[in-house]
Structure 1
């Protein structure tokens, strides 16, 4: 898998764990100049974040980015639900992530369906993100 695909899959997962590491990877990828050394660094960072728990701040930032895929498609009810869940969001009581998984399935957002964060949230909740 090339680095762009690895980045696309891991982007929001990484953002949910560490904004600093997310920004670092974005700098590494700047100008599409990718090297084997950068690939090793990316792998090392991804491995190091496996046991890191998201904070409220990192989740809010990540979920706001993900919400961008829905904000022009959603119903008024979905918008109100999103805002309510965002306001109530706590890392140990996350109802917003599963809600975003549901919207990913409803609106069939291909990019998000391949996202590690959405996949992991989906697996945790036992939901289906594809309409087969």
Structure 2
């Protein structure tokens, strides 16, 4: 496989999984992002690091950070009411009165209303189980 193809494969894998990784560990997110800036990334290494992050215990702080990153895609189009709804659900999650699925479900409602091809591929929002690249 040519270097260009390997880099593209790594970037596609990262694009699909970066918000899921960010939702688990900001540190792992930064580590993978920095690694991908290297000259010759290795798909197996990226796969391994994504899997390690997915297997981590949930961090409410990191989950909230990922949600805020995703909110950035909607903030110009969404109404004030939609923003308040998202932040109410997120605050309930942070206080233990709601689960992460409720937050993700609302983000998916926004995604249906304000389509975004990039976010539509995100395992964080699709609920797709992580798949390693062959």
TM-score between the two structures when normalised by the length of structure 2:
0.79
- 1:7 aligns with one of 5, 9, 14: 14
Change (3 A) 1:101 1:53: farther
Q: Whole-Å Cα distance in 2 between the matches of residues 103 and 117 of structure 1?
A: 14
Instruction: List gaps (5 residues or longer) in structure 2.
Output: 1-7, 130-134
Aligned residue pairs: how many?
Answer: 119
Shift of 1:42: 0.9
Shift of 1:17: 1.2
Q: Whole-Å Cα distance in 2 between the matches of residues 115 and 22 of structure 1?
A: 14
Preserved CA contact (<8 Å) 2:15 2:122: yes
- 1:40 aligns with one of 31, 40, 44: 44
Runs of 4+ in structure 1 displaced over 4 angstroms?
A: none
- 1:68 aligns with one of 69, 72, 79: 72
Q: Whole-Å Cα distance in 1 between the matches of residues 73 and 111 of structure 2?
A: 9
- Cα RMSD after superposing both structures: 2.1
Preserved CA contact (<8 Å) 2:32 2:46: yes
Matched, 1:93 2:99: yes
Preserved CA contact (<8 Å) 2:20 2:124: yes
Q: What's the secondary structure of 1:42's corresponding residue?
A: helix
Preserved CA contact (<8 Å) 1:15 1:22: yes
The more displaced of 86-95 and 3-12 is 86-95
Q: Following superposition of structure 1 onto structure 2, how do residues 107-118 of structure 1 map, counting pairs within 5 Å? A: 107-118=114-125
